[in-house]
Structure 1
């Protein structure tokens, strides 16, 4: 008689729950790296080299700058930069509300409001309030940069700054800007 085939033992990452060879496609590869170096070094040999290079760079830079032996617990004054896949650096978004009026068919216009979510405002609630206040249609749509924005039918740029600052006190008037003729102009 032939021996029964044994089940395959699969190792799963404790951080993301994926097999180690798929961790780089998971939700947060940076958090998985220490676990991968310890438990699956053969899957990502570049990680071990990268980690050892970082340690030697830190040791060299701290001993050169101080002239003393490096300390393990010292923290540098450099801010950590968020890196996206592909090595691109993520920019920190400025907290500002941008209001733009777009005219279509010579007479009809749409006012777009971008950036309210940066102040903790729920966009669906904001669109309902804007629609009720100005007696017009308002909806949350994806803008050209794949970010949500509120489109309000009609030209409501005359009253919108006062309405925003009264309804949401967290939004300062200094953080509200208009786009006029392609230039950003302060609302205040």
Structure 2
């Protein structure tokens, strides 16, 4: 008589509850990394290498700090370049700082109707709720705050108001320079000036 087949034992991540080979596709890969390094180092050798590099960097930093505190001159300590903290996105991509600019785009829907979207007013310290009210009153249309495709809030104004909106923005909010306002035309960013 043949032996019974044994059930397959599958290892699951204790953080995201996915099999370890699928952790990188989950939403909390950064949180899974310590667990993966400890329990499945053969699946992600790059993580193990990164962890070793981080540990050596920490040791070097501790040694440098101990040299500074033990009486090494401040001039020598300040001559070393300071590393800027950079925000990293999943996949190792570096997050760029937002440029202070306002982007105005006209989106046509249903062949006749159009919506004008205004992105970036909040970067100049403008409250979007107040701005949408002012835009709605000025152009006698509906205006609302919505989340755009990049998860940033933008103002959607009904109708084609792109012809007057630059003047209105610069008059209403004097902190906004006219050179920081751009239109999206045919997929290209064009200065409004």
* Runs (5+) with no aligned partner, structure 1: 1-23, 26-45, 61-68
1:116 matched to which residue of 2?
A: 121
2:56 matched to which residue of 1?
A: 52
* Runs (5+) with no aligned partner, structure 2: 1-29, 32-49, 65-72
Q: Which one of 97, 101, 110 corresponds to residue 92 of structure 1?
A: 97
Whole-Å separation in 2 of the counterparts to 1:58 and 1:76: 16
- SS at 2:98's partner residue? coil
- SS at 1:106's partner residue? coil
What do residues 138-184 of structure 1 show as CA deviations (whole Å, max 9, x unaligned)? 00001111111100000000100000001111111000000111111
What do residues 69-102 of structure 1 show as CA deviations (whole Å, max 9, x unaligned)? 9944544155432224553311111111000011
1:166 matched to which residue of 2?
A: 171
Q: Which one of 169, 183, 186 corresponds to residue 178 of structure 1?
A: 183
What do residues 42-72 of structure 1 show as CA deviations (whole Å, max 9, x unaligned)? xxxx979724334438989xxxxxxxx9944
Q: Give the length in aligned residue pairs.
A: 137
* Structure 1 residue 106 displacement after superposition: 1.6
1:20 matched to which residue of 2?
A: none
Q: Which one of 140, 146, 150 corresponds to residue 145 of structure 1?
A: 150
1:12 matched to which residue of 2?
A: none
- SS at 2:150's partner residue? coil
- SS at 2:114's partner residue? strand
